[in-house]
Amino acid sequence: MATQLERVFNNGERLVPGLTFGVAELIRHRTSYLFFRAVIALDGPGAKTILDVGCGVGHGCVTLADLRNAEIVGVDPSPDAIAWAREHYARPNIRYEVATAEEIAERRFDYIVSRNALEHVADGIRLAAAAPWRNRLIFDVPYDEPPGVNAHHLLHHISEGDMPTGSEWFYQDINGNIHEHKPRWPNVIACVASASHVDRVGTRIGFPFRAWRPPAKRDRVQLWVERAQLVPYRLRRSLKAP
């Protein structure tokens, strides 16, 4: 019988910090949520409700919970992931629920965020764009990923043309840095769709938005090892580039 961790991980579906994937993936996830938090903070310290779609084990919700006067709801279709979140990533201003993207599509929040989850839903981007968010929709998804890379992904080759009309988009590279303009090899595309009564992000956030740096030396050493393992992959891409 599979352990709870194995069910949460689900053969590569979810990050559990320190237990699944490596340091590099944790950096990319952590930086995405720091970027989401920075965008929401642009709108001031007033009371705000935030929905995290596909929250997994809740590590990103904890980052958002540092926002002043914020109430966070994290949803994920996995009962095991939500149980893990409630045990390991509980905060007074976070509530975790077992739910699918379709089940929460009509609920109203000031902000909806999602980190590499909407590609798991066949109509995920359209569902999020059509949801009744009041201020901003902020999400990222793999950029131009072909089929076969991840068996859990139902949307492929996502690019700028798939983003909601009128939205802004940014790019995260493989090292976790987020750019205003497309780098040579974007890893994910980050979308910010804003209501008419809030200012667009534009250059109000400094770019590049630097990747989070792990505080522990052992994690930084492991990161160097993981990046070294990417060198052959990057060389192959360079040879294929026109």
The reply to whether 235 falls in a domain is no
40-55 residue pLDDT tens: 999 999 999 999 999 9
Tell me which residue of 20, 29, 15, 3 sits closest to 187, measured CA to CA.
29
CATH of the domain at 137: 3.40.50.150
Helices and strands, number each (H, E), in the chain: 7, 8
The reply to whether 30 falls in a domain is yes
The reply to whether 114 falls in a domain is yes
Residue-range definition of the domain harbouring residue 36: 4-214
176 dihedral zone (left: phi>0; alpha: psi -120 to 50; beta): left
The reply to whether 152 falls in a domain is yes
The reply to whether 227 falls in a domain is no
Count of domains observed in the chain: 1
Cα–Cα distance for residue pair 104/238, rounded to 1 Å: 42
User: Which amino acid, residue 65?
Assistant: A
pTM of the model: 0.90
Q: Which pLDDT score is estimated for 226? A: 42
The reply to whether 185 falls in a domain is yes
| 9-13, 27-31, 74-78, 140-144: the lowest-pLDDT one | 9-13
168-191 residue pLDDT tens: 999 999 999 999 999 999 999 999
The reply to whether 44 falls in a domain is yes
Q: Is the distance from CB of 170 to CB of 190 less than 8 angstroms?
A: yes
The reply to whether 59 falls in a domain is yes
